[in-house]
Structure 1
Amino acid sequence: MSVIAWITEGTWPACVDAALTRTSPDEDIVLLYVHDDTLAETAHGAFAGLLGRGHPERDPGTRLEQLAAASARELLQAAADRLGRPCTRMERHGRVERGVVVAATGADLLICARDGDQSRLGPHSLGHATRFVVDHAPCPVLLIWPGEIPQTDLPPHPPPHPPAPGHRP
């Protein structure tokens, strides 16, 4: 069985812990990090268009790429250290949500964490990329809370709607 733990800056410890508690020692765990290259691409474009024709050595996009790569390596190393057992580290580039979905092809389980509003239950507890992954993953998804689960009334109260015409209570 292969399990992918999607590693992001804010939620990686909870994903690693979930992988540890939900897998046996003989199962393969992949720690996945997807680089969002938008910022570096924007810097490259701004530099080329406005500032730096003829001086590629001053392109700030290159430095941003280097910093992002170093940060990803450090994050994956921290996740591997916390996992404390052999694992595979995988890095992808591009749109984060699409990179995760593609990487999950053929996996037996994808572990990801809620990354939106952590103060309440419901759809706002998922960020855009996580919502896309949950909706499009080609394998089962384990969606976890990265911290304490908010205490609220369950199930939530229905929204106030006027009664339909002809409806009798």
Structure 2
Amino acid sequence: MTPQEFDAFYAASFSRLTGQLYALTGNWSEAQDVVQEAFVRAWDRRHAFGSVNAPEAWIRTTARRLAVSRWRRLARGLQLAGRHHHQEPPTVEPPTEEHLVLIAALRDLPEAQRSALVLHHMCDLSVEQVAAETGVTVSAVKSRLARGRAALAVRLADRTPADEEGKLRV
């Protein structure tokens, strides 16, 4: 991949990937950081990166792994410091109320369900692609999607504002 091709790829996908990672992490700054770091790693491997079949999936997977690694380091640091409670990161106000409601509802879900929902519905990946990115079976992805949709529907019914016609705006 030439530097110009890489720059075009970066410009075309950075915002979309950051939004996807924000939905996964619930933290805008963290999402920006891990996506940027994933792009730096791709740049360092740009000659081999050019032959990757799905470069956006590679960036997303790398960013997701970086976020998980950061969470683990943070948890370990809190344990070493003798702190046994989990602190929530500060909430960053999203551009719309609907987006905030959706992210809050997603944040309440178990990570496996949240990842499956975001990757399938927000990143437009097939069930098979979600299975490949997360390292689980297709059956497990389908199960996580079904349980996650049911749990999300309950949470959104309690939180989501309705428009004039009573339809959900999210």
Q: Is the TM value for this pair above 0.5?
A: no
Q: Which has the higher contact order (CA 8 A, sep 6+)?
A: 1
Q: Scaled by the length of structure 2, what TM-score is found?
A: 0.24
Q: Flag the structure with larger Rg.
A: 1
TM norm structure 1: 0.24
More strand per residue: 1
